[in-house]
Structure 1
Amino acid sequence: MQAKPKIVIVGAGGRLGAALAREYASDCDVTGFTHAELDLGQLEQLRSTLAPLSFDALINAAALTNVDYCETHRDEARRLNAEAPRLLAQICREKDARFAHVSTDYVFDGSKREPYTEEDPAEAISVYGESKRAGELEVLEANERALVLRVSWVFGPDRPSFVDAILQKARTEEEVTAVADKFSTPTYTSDIASLLRPLLHSPEVNGILHLANRGACSWQEYAQWALDCCHESGLPRRAKTVGAVSLGEMKNFIARRPVYTVLGTKKYEALTGQAPREW
């Protein structure tokens, strides 16, 4: 009987990490570490915890993702989003294990109006985006066999996301608004897990890869879709429509946000022969 592949997931308590752990548990031997169990900011702890373990692949789904917090905590963002991933990549190289690192659409400046490819220049406009781009480069320098996965607008059942906040507000308020001039693609955590599966055991596939559902929408369109789904499913909300505001009106934002970060997936489709589904 063939042994199950051993997979370590860092960030297993997060929205994506929890989905990965659940999706792979049926046919893999999964060891998951939450933030409380393994802190990216403690580099010595990372090595001392992971070095004794035997595993075939490690997925890093952990990061400092609060965009506005990162803007005023540059060193911390760099440590968690770049230095820690580099160490994880090194550990995997030493163990000859597969390393998959989750990155973000925020590495782009948003100036395009068609889906970004993996070959497009990554010119982030926020400290968060800069730290994640630095992490991509650090990982690939430390481990040439590593896989860097860019994802966008991740949602799923394990942790609240943008759409959950909108629906919660719509329960008690008749008027809700969302940004109408910022576009990307909502991507379901279980779909990411399924799309990643064939790549985990394909060491010839490395470098940067976009992993997202297809299609595009604004935050306003995304929120309206979620609200419509609630009403159609018999889960009425006080609000019926989502009003439009511009990104420039969001005075509470500290960091700049790119206005367009749709990720093209043609490279993934060519490698695997399968296409992500529409969001």
Structure 2
Amino acid sequence: MSTFRAAAIQMRVGNDINTNVETLKQLVAEAARQGAHYVQTPEATGGFQRDKNVLLATIRNEADDPVFLAAAELARQYGIYLHIGSTAIRAADQKAANRGVIFAPTGEKITTYDKIHMFDVDLDNGESWRESATYEPGDKAIVVETPLANIGMGICYDIRFPQLFQAQALRGANLLTAPAAFTRQTGEAHWHIMQRARAIENGAFLISAAQGGFHEDGRGTYGHSIIVSPWGTILAEADHDEPCVIVADIDVNESVLARKKIPNLANARQFTTQIVKA
């Protein structure tokens, strides 16, 4: 299949995973009703929890996680590729994994991806985040070969590291992903620029489902879930932070054409860096 319909689900999760799963079911059903073959949810689909001790006391392994269990059934029920942007899963050494997962239309888990780059930042408005204190970073870039497209998996802050997406594109990815929970400050400044840049520089589609609005734990997220073409055209966007579903028709041949027009991946050269003191 060279053409398919993709959907990005925008959510506003709370602290209760079971409530979030019910919302997930409703929004996936809406995406399926609109004819989506591939459906993506945002980072933290299972919910937010700032207190590390509470998080570690409540999260589960994959086999028992409510999001994983519901997603497998939803993929099978609607016959779709369901990409859970991420949810917190128990890891070793008193840490969690910020883990994305893709399920096949059979309900079978294809693969998982653990967020590589930790959001350890101090923003101008006083916001301070230390994901590395709670989450164990991943160390593997993932490309999933499906009948729809070759999907490169990323999560949120990964979007600021172009080398990850370039590595995926060089291994055949023609659909890149960065499901997110962007802060409002960074989203307003950088969201659209980086989404379009990663798509353009890799000649690939890019889909980023997002969290939006103000959440029970006090954080605010930017929303604006987006689907971008390999030429940098915004094919669909939620121009707000409310829960919703956006869809766009994807023709993977556009990735081939974009890479022929601008063959930067093929033209890249190795080089050294020299420091010259004045």
| Band of TM-score, shorter chain | 0.3 to 0.5
TM normalised by structure 2 equals: 0.36
Structure with more of its chain in helix, by fraction? 1
Q: Radius of gyration: which is bigger? A: 1
Structure with more of its chain in strand, by fraction? 2
TM normalised by structure 1 equals: 0.36
